């Protein structure tokens, strides 16, 4: 059973390249911009090989009364979403959802540390701008593969000054998460967004430091894992289904396309609505979500169908959906 996502007409007002791999889009909804808070994302309908799919992109910066701003990294290889977005020209018609937030910023903490890597910078920009405007005690750490990929660095330097530190892989600069966390005062809040490897490291260091889990918030962009995406098979005995999941499609999309309708919302491995029971697995589950704990991922009892994959085989699942 699919979620009740409502689509609204919009058009692309403008776009600009922020780097060789990141493009920013200004989307103007025909019915006007809805109120949203920093950390929100926007669902966009994309066409991939003749079929409609949904992609979720973080809204960038502070709310604008005229447009939504998103930034899309051109993925290589791509499941098709970034390829579709990069094919759009100014004036193109779009179908979008309404802003939704699973990455809320709470203002009660005495201190904040913002951590972003790669395209994970997109929800963090607005957080930095808003916290700085409120005079919050704040530090930010921003990592990318190269200086050219620090796409919002100049904007952030103008807001944060020396409170921003950047790290580039091609300069052998490394972010020392343990030291950054150790420097925080009691009840400081850390907000992070980036690839799953970064988020796993953040969570491990946070727990190792004995920090309260409630003071750590994070979000992933849902398309990175510990293994390269490859095709795998999935079996759902209750529905008599055995089918292949191609490398460029999600398990969730393949299940829905084959009649095993699965509830979902975020499509980013955050909300857990699409979680399914694992009966058995051949190969290795690549848990790409941030919903389950590290211990739960090691147990391999459940997975998030929207982002998780299998390397070296396939998986047998049980679905909560029962056909009439």
> What does DSSP assign to residue 75?
-
pLDDT of residue 290: 81
CATH number reported for the structural domain that contains residue 149 in this entry: 3.40.50.80
Residues 238 and 298 in one domain: yes
286 in Cβ contact with 310 (< 8 Å): yes
Q: Tell me if 180 is assigned to some domain.
A: yes
Q: Which two tokens stand for residue 201?
A: 């490291």
Q: Tell me if 107 is assigned to some domain.
A: no
Residues 116 and 214 in one domain: yes
96 in Cβ contact with 68 (< 8 Å): yes
Counting every residue written for the chain, the total comes to: 324
DSSP state letters, 299-314: HTSEEETTT-EEEEEE
Q: Tell me if 17 is assigned to some domain.
A: yes
From 41, 68, 101, the end of a domain falls on: 101
From 167, 191, 219, the end of a domain falls on: 219
Q: Tell me if 310 is assigned to some domain.
A: yes
- Rounded CA separation 95/211 (Å): 42
From the number of C-beta atoms within 10 Å of its C-beta (0-12, 13-18, 19+), residue 281 rates as middle
Q: Tell me if 195 is assigned to some domain.
A: yes
Residues 169 and 238 in one domain: no
pLDDT of residue 310: 95
Walk along the chain (324 residues) and give the pLDDT tens digit of each residue: 445 578 999 999 999 999 999 999 999 999 999 999 999 999 999 988 778 888 889 999 999 999 999 999 998 766 788 999 999 999 999 999 999 998 989 888 999 999 999 999 999 999 999 999 999 999 999 999 999 999 999 999 999 999 999 999 999 999 999 999 999 999 999 999 998 889 989 999 999 999 999 999 988 765 677 788 899 999 999 999 999 999 888 899 899 889 998 888 777 788 889 999 999 999 999 998 888 888 899 999 999 999 999 999 999 999 865 555
Nearest partner of 51 among 304, 244, 249, 266, judged by Cα: 249
Residues 121 and 211 in one domain: yes
Residue 177: strand pairing partners? none
Domain tally, the chain: 3
CATH number reported for the structural domain that contains residue 15 in this entry: 2.40.30.10
pLDDT of residue 77: 64
Residues 90 and 175 in one domain: no
pLDDT of residue 313: 94
Nearest partner of 307 among 258, 245, 216, judged by Cα: 245
From 186, 219, 252, the end of a domain falls on: 219
141 in Cβ contact with 115 (< 8 Å): yes
147 in Cβ contact with 154 (< 8 Å): no
**Secondary structure (3-state) at 119:** helix
pLDDT of residue 323: 54
Q: Tell me if 225 is assigned to some domain.
A: no
Residues 117 and 192 in one domain: yes
Residues 118 and 215 in one domain: yes
Residues 25 and 85 in one domain: yes
Instruction: Kindly list the distances between the CA atom of residue 244 and the CA atoms of 231, 232, 309, 316, 318, in Å, as whole numbers in the listed order.
Output: 7, 6, 12, 12, 16
Q: Tell me if 227 is assigned to some domain.
A: no
Residue 159 parent element (H or E): helix 153-160
Residues 214 and 239 in one domain: no
Domain span including residue 53: 8-101
């Amino acid at each position: 059973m699919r979620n009740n996502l409502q689509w609204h007409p919009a058009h692309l007002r403008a776009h600009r390249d922020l780097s060789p791999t990141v493009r920013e889009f200004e989307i103007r909804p025909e019915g006007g911009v809805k109120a949203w808070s920093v950390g929100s994302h926007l669902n966009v309908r994309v066409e991939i090989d003749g079929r409609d799919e949904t992609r979720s992109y973080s809204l960038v910066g502070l709310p604008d009364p005229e447009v939504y701003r998103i930034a899309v990294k051109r993925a290589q290889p791509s499941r098709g979403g970034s390829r579709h977005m990069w094919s759009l020209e100014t004036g193109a018609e779009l179908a979008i959802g309404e802003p939704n937030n699973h990455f809320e910023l709470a203002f009660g903490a005495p201190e904040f540390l913002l951590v972003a890597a790669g395209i994970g910078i997109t929800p963090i920009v607005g957080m930095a701008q808003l916290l700085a405007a409120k005079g919050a005690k704040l530090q930010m750490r921003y990592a990318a593969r190269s200086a050219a990929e620090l796409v919002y660095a100049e904007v952030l330097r103008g807001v944060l000054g020396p409170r921003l530190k950047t790290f580039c892989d091609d300069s052998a600069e490394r972010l020392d998460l343990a030291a950054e966390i150790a420097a925080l005062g009691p009840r400081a809040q850390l907000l992070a967004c980036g690839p799953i490897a970064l988020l796993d490291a953040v969570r491990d260091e946070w727990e190792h430091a004995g920090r309260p889990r409630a003071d750590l918030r994070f979000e992933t962009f849902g398309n990175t894992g510990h293994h390269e995406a490859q095709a795998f098979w999935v079996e759902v005995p209750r529905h008599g289904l055995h089918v292949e999941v191609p490398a460029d499609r999600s398990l969730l999309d393949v299940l829905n396309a084959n009649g095993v309708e699965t509830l979902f919302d975020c499509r980013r491995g955050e909300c857990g609505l699409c979680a399914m029971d694992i009966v058995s697995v051949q190969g290795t589950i690549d848990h790409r979500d941030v919903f389950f704990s590290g211990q739960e991922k090691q147990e391999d009892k459940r997975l998030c169908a929207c982002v998780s994959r299998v390397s070296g085989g396939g998986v047998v699942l049980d679905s909560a959906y029962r056909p009439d």
